[in-house]
Chain A
Amino acid sequence: MIVSTERTISVTVNGVPRETTVPARRLLSDALRHDLQLTGTHVGCEHGVCGACTVLVDGTPVRSCLVLAVQVDGKAVTTVEGLARDDGRGGEILHPVQEAFRECHALQCGFCTPGFLMTMAAGLEARDRSTDITEDEVDEIVGGNLCRCTGYANIKKACRHAAGLMKEAAE
């Protein structure tokens, strides 16, 4: 068994197979930004408290600053760049949470937004869409992310709005 200080990893990022060589100590957040030039993932506290760097690994939200890049070898990562869908005509269709953030004015400076979007998208996709979202569910979904601008009221509003959009789409 080899102990390595550097590794070449293969990762499917937003549906695209990517290969890059990283030092063992490279955090996933830094690998996405520095090595793969995907700067949509923001780095706030860098120790797992703020949630700004949240991405999906194999569909599950994780803090990318608390995962090593070498640990996602062979896995699929989704970042905020991969949240909107291709509309087939050279444009994009926003994810319902992106739509809701725009509609509800749920961002000001926007630094925390990528983390909120990824956390909220995963949280809302995991729930039973046939039911109305409760306040407890909203708190549970957004509770792990920090925002210093909005006071959270509009972010929670966006969460309820996005849940409504997803419920409509499921009906």
Chain B
Amino acid sequence: MKPAPFGYADPTSLDEALTLLTEDGAKVLAGGQSLLPLLSMRLASPATLVDINRIPGLDSVVVTPSGDGAGVRVGALVRHVELLHHAEAAQVQPLLARATSNVAHPAIRNRGTTVGSIAHADPSGEMTSVLALTGGSVTVATPAGSSAVGWADFFVGPLETSVHGPAVVTEAFFPALPPRTGTAFEEVSRRKGDYAVCGAGVTVTLDEDSRVTSARASYISVGLVPEVHDLTDAVVGQSVDSADWTAAGALARTLVDPDGDLHASADYRRLLVGVLTERTLARAAQEAQNR
């Protein structure tokens, strides 16, 4: 349970980091809360760890409340705990604080980074699904320059993204929540703070007469990559107080394709998708009335 030997570098600029990452077997180290266990269990044994923690300019949360580019930009070194307590960011995109409160335990959130958990692309990670549900993107820096990659093009498989070769994910962008839209996030886990057996993040949008115009959901620990499911058909045009959230839950159950494992069977996960969808949509709809 000790990492295999590796070389370590802690560059102080992004250019230096990218140069170091051109070497074979070099890997980025940010918060390390997923990477270190992988190293200790020898599931990964990179030749070099490029620690980005000393690079300035990657630790800011930039909130743009409205207009062009409205949303929250999260730098690669922003820890989960900072998003959890960021009141301005929660105002513009409430899913950030809601989801980060479900990320592991305080000691892990103090160290783990939100962008790192997205780059890790674990299907049981909260922030990958939030990036998808909000229609977000990441900024990927390579020696050739920086470019934005939308969430759908970024996630390729479990623990796999479309980014190959020397690259650092420098930022994640979560678009602002539209008006008359509410959100909710809930997980079921075996132990408090543990990986979710199943989790759901949802958004509900209402029109001026409080009728549902959109209901969308993204799930945690269900499927191989984050997906966004449109559940609007089950509740479209229905009034917020009498909408058939059970029907939306039933629809969600037909759209997902969960796997079974030691912790839960596929059928149990599918059941949880229905239950969590029904509960969270109802809460999100109530919230949407007040936004």
Size of the A side of the interface (Cβ < 8 Å), in residues, is: 33
Give chain A's interface secondary structure class: mixed
A47 and B32 within 8 A (CB): no
Partner of B110, one of A61, A65, A70, A140: A61
Chain A residues whose CB sits within 8 angstroms of the CB of B107 once the complex forms: 51, 54, 61-63, 119, 144
**Cβ–Cβ contact A143 & B53, under 8 A:** no
Nearest CB of A to B182, in Å: 23
Cβ of A37 under 8 Å from chain B: no
Give, as a whole number of angstroms, the nearest-CB distance from A170 to chain B. 21
Q: Is the CB of A1 within 8 A of B19?
A: yes
Number of B interface residues in the complex (CB < 8 A)? 36
Asked if A47 and B2 sit within 8 Å, CB to CB, the answer is no
Which stretch of B35-43, B134-142, B227-235 is in the interface? B35-43
By the criterion CB–CB under 8 Å, are B111 and A62 in contact? yes
Is there an interface contact between A24 and B40, defined as CB atoms closer than 8 Å?
no
B36: chain A residues at CB < 8 Å are 27, 47-48, 65-68
Find out whether the CB atom of A66 lies under 8 angstroms from the CB atom of B33.
yes
Shortest C-beta distance, B61 to chain A (Å), equals 18
A61 to B33, CA, bound (A): 13
Binds A, one of B6-14, B243-251, B260-268, B278-286: B6-14
CA distance A143 to B36 in the complex (A): 21
Which residues does chain A contribute within 8 Å of B1, judged by CB atoms? Answer: 46-47
Q: Is the CB of B53 within 8 A of A61?
A: no
- B148 in the interface (beta carbon within 8 A): no
B106 A61 Cβ-Cβ under 8 A: yes
How far does the alpha carbon of A119 sit from the alpha carbon of B109 in the complex, in Å?
Answer: 13
Query: Per-residue 0/1 for A103-125: is the Cβ within 8 Å of any B Cβ (1 yes, 0 no)?
Result: 00000000000000001000100
Per-position 1/0 for B187-224, Cβ under 8 A of A: 00001110000000000000000000000000000000
Cα distance A54–B37 in the bound complex, in angstroms: 15
Contact A71/B33 with A63-B107, A143-B105 known, Cβ cut-off 8 Å: no
Bound-state CA distance A139–B193 (Å) is: 10
Contact B9 A1 (CB under 8 A): yes
**With a CB–CB cut-off of 8 A, which chain B residues contact A51?**
105, 107
A67–B32 touching, CB < 8 Å:
yes
Contacts of A29-64 to chain B: CB distance below 8 A: 30, 46-48, 51, 54, 60-63
Instruction: Give per-residue flags for B1-39: 1 if the beta carbon is below 8 A from chain A beta carbons, else 0.
Output: 111111111110000100110000000010011001101
The contact sample of 19 A-B pairs, CB cut-off 8 A, is A1-B9, A1-B19, A1-B20, A4-B7, A5-B5, A5-B6, A5-B8, A25-B2, A30-B2, A46-B1, A60-B110, A66-B36, A67-B36, A119-B107, A139-B192, A143-B192, A144-B105, A144-B107, A144-B193
Extra contacts, 12 of them, besides A4-B9, A48-B36, A63-B111 (Cβ < 8 A), are: A1-B11, A24-B5, A25-B2, A25-B4, A25-B5, A27-B40, A47-B1, A61-B107, A62-B111, A68-B51, A141-B106, A143-B191
